[in-house]
Structure formats: structure tokens, C-alpha cells
Amino acid sequence: MKALVYTKSGKIALEDRPRPEITAPGDAIVRVTHTTICGTDLHILKGDVATAEPGRILGHEGVGVVECVGAAVTSFKKGDHVLMSCVSACGTCAFCRKQMYSHCIHGGWLLGNSIDGTQAEFVRTPFAEMSLYHIPEGADEEALVMLSDILPTGFECGVLNGKVAPGSTVAIVGAGPVGLAALLTAQFYSPASIIMIDIDDNRLEIAKKFGATDVVNSANEKAAEKVMELTDQAGVDTAIEAVGIPATFELCQEIVAAGGIIANIGVHGTSASLHLETLWDRNIAITTRLVDTVTIPMLFKTAAAKTIDPALLISHHFTLAEGEAAYEAFGDAAKSKALKVIISPA
């Protein structure tokens, strides 16, 4: 089969690989119909992710059709249309019982990381009972790829951890795909305002279309001052960090209201300063989270009810053979204006 592989030279290449096979009773083999690229895939290409070694087929998102299942899988059978979670969860360990699938002792983020992933014609998905989801007939399957990772990430790490509420004020720092996913799902809770902060005017334009009440280009104006002005100097109830660098995390500390929450989504490579000298008495909370994808069932329901339109996040389409071009577009979003790019092996 064809697959997109992380090569020794730190690049992506289309290669021929043998089809995966069932290796445990809980496995399923899925024929991938649509997959996509995540910011984490770019990190792997840079060599930032130690567990992902050269030769790995990338990708941890996607939808497809079940090809076969292991002996212990009873909820899925050949021909079922399924969504694949980016997290493989055993369902029974202490973390899974607390719905912290991300920290599953036997699973977690495996696909396209420590085992071969979804950017291929076929993929082996461990713990299929917990990690695959039936797609209802008639659904827009391509759009549902957004439920593998990006929408649960924005929703769980940003919106739920940030306790967005009716009438509350929200700032989202970073209008990339995950920040936009937070923007879309924050609206489930009817906040009074969502202020979007980025340095790319194109993305801020998109944020406005997606429901941001205010946008701030932090390259052009002092973002903290602007947010304080927009909130009558109170700051925001929820500040969502969706970039992953110290400067943006520290901006969140400047704009969070007394009693508010900083919900971190960003993948950080270095430490940041925590200004406890000003925050120790502000009754705030800071949260971090690797997405658990426990909200996939809820997101399915909101998508079916058309409360959210996941397709909004899709900007480009490629075939598997065009995989390198897909990475190029996704990797240079400032130029390509890419949000999420769909790669369709089938």
C-alpha cells in the first residue's frame, strides 16, 4: 500500500509499505478514506518527538471503513464506516477510568507516533472498541475528520478546561486551526464576547467569520492593553493559549480577570515565567491538557444537530499521492492560507 513516511532526512515521502495486520485481539484494520495533517506532524519532521522514529507512517486523524477486526472486537465489523480518535484508549486502566484517555497506560497517542499512522491506505488501530466511533449514515465523512483531534482539542483543553459560560468573556491567543477549533466550540456556551488574538490578518478575518466578536492583531497593537480596554479593565474570564510559546502564555497572565482561568492548549518547548508576585492573590486557575477525546460522542451529536459545522475548518484537498504538496501547504499557512488540509487515500 501507499503511505506518507517520515524519512531519515526529516522529510515526508510517499512509500510502498505492506498492509498492516491484526496483532492483538482488540485491533481493527481500517481502510482510510480521509485523513489530515496536524501541527504535531510538523514537530515530528523537525525531530522534536522522540517516540516517533524515522520510517514511521505519520498521521493520527481520519475516517475510513473497517476492513477486519480482532477476536475481542464486537462493536465493529467489516464495512462499518468509522472515525478514528487520535488517542488509543484501553478503557480499563486507572487513567481511562478517570476519562484521561490521553494518559492511558497501555495506549495514549500511538498512531503516527510510536506505531504507524493514518496517512496511508490502511491503518491498524489498537483498542478499537474504545478508539473507533460509528459514523451515522448520510454524514459528511470528510468533515468528521475534524473530530479525530482538532475539535476535541480546542473543546476539551480550551473551552471545557476554561469553563466558558453564558455571558462570559473569552480571549483566544492564536488563530491557527486549534485556536479556531476553540472559537467554534466556545460558542456552544454562548459567551458574551470572544476576542481573537493573532499576528496574521487573514486568520483574524476567518476568526470574524467563525464568530469572534473582536479581533486583535498583536503585531500592530498592544494586545494586553486592547483586551483590558475591551473588558472595561476587568480582563477576561477565560484566556485560551493556542500558540505554545512563553510570550503568548505570559500575555494570558496579563489579561486574565480575577477569578478567571488560563486554559493552555499550546505545545510548549520551553518554560515560561509565571508571575506569582501578581497572580498569587488573584484567585485564578491555569490548566494544561493533552486531548483525551472523551468528547467525541458529544461532538458527534452537535455535528448531527448542525450546532457546529466541522467542515468550516477544511481549506484544502489532496490525494495521498499529493502528500508532499499537502505538507507544504499546511506547513506554510501564512502563504497558502491553509487551515486543515484533507488527504484522501481512497
Q: Which of 103, 163, 208, 337 binds a copy of itself (CB under 8 A)?
A: 103
Near a copy of itself by CB under 8 A, which window of 77-85, 219-227, 258-266, 314-322?
A: 258-266
User: Cβ-count burial of 220 within 10 angstroms (0-12 exposed, 13-18 middle, 19+ buried)?
Assistant: exposed
Q: Which of residues 270-289 bind a copy of itself (CB under 8 A)?
A: 270-277, 279-289
Query: Is 208 in a helix, a strand, or coil?
Result: helix
Q: Which of 13, 258, 321, 346 binds a copy of itself (CB under 8 A)?
A: 258
Q: What is the largest CA-CA distance in the chain?
A: 61
Q: What is the DSSP string of 7-26?
A: -TTS-EEEEE-PPP---STT
Within 13 Å of residue 187, how many CA atoms lie on the same side as its CB?
19
Please tell me the distance from the alpha carbon of residue 99 to that of residue 345, in angstroms, as a whole number: 32
Please tell me the distance from the alpha carbon of residue 205 to that of residue 200, in angstroms, as a whole number: 9
99 interacts with a copy of itself by CB under 8 A: yes
Of 3 and 66, which CB lies nearer to a copy of itself in the complex structure?
66
Q: Which of residues 310-339 bind a copy of itself (CB under 8 A)?
A: none
What angle (nearest 5°) sits at the alpha carbon of residue 182, between those of residues 48 and 240? 75
Site for a copy of itself (CB under 8 A): how many residues? 71
Q: Which of residues 33-92 bind a copy of itself (CB under 8 A)?
A: 71-72, 75, 91-92
Q: Closest separation between CB of residue 81 and a copy of itself, Å?
A: 18
Q: Which of 57, 86, 227, 290 binds a copy of itself (CB under 8 A)?
A: 290
Of 253 and 344, which CB lies nearer to a copy of itself in the complex structure?
253
Of 94 and 321, which CB lies nearer to a copy of itself in the complex structure?
94
Per-residue cell: 3 = 503511505
268 interacts with a copy of itself by CB under 8 A: yes
Q: Which of 46, 97, 209, 335 binds a copy of itself (CB under 8 A)?
A: 97
Q: Which of residues 133-192 bind a copy of itself (CB under 8 A)?
A: 161, 165-168, 187-192
Per-residue cell: 233 = 479593565
Amino acid (1-letter code) at residue 41:
D
Please tell me the distance from the alpha carbon of residue 266 to that of residue 285, in angstroms, as a whole number: 16
Of 3 and 130, which CB lies nearer to a copy of itself in the complex structure?
130
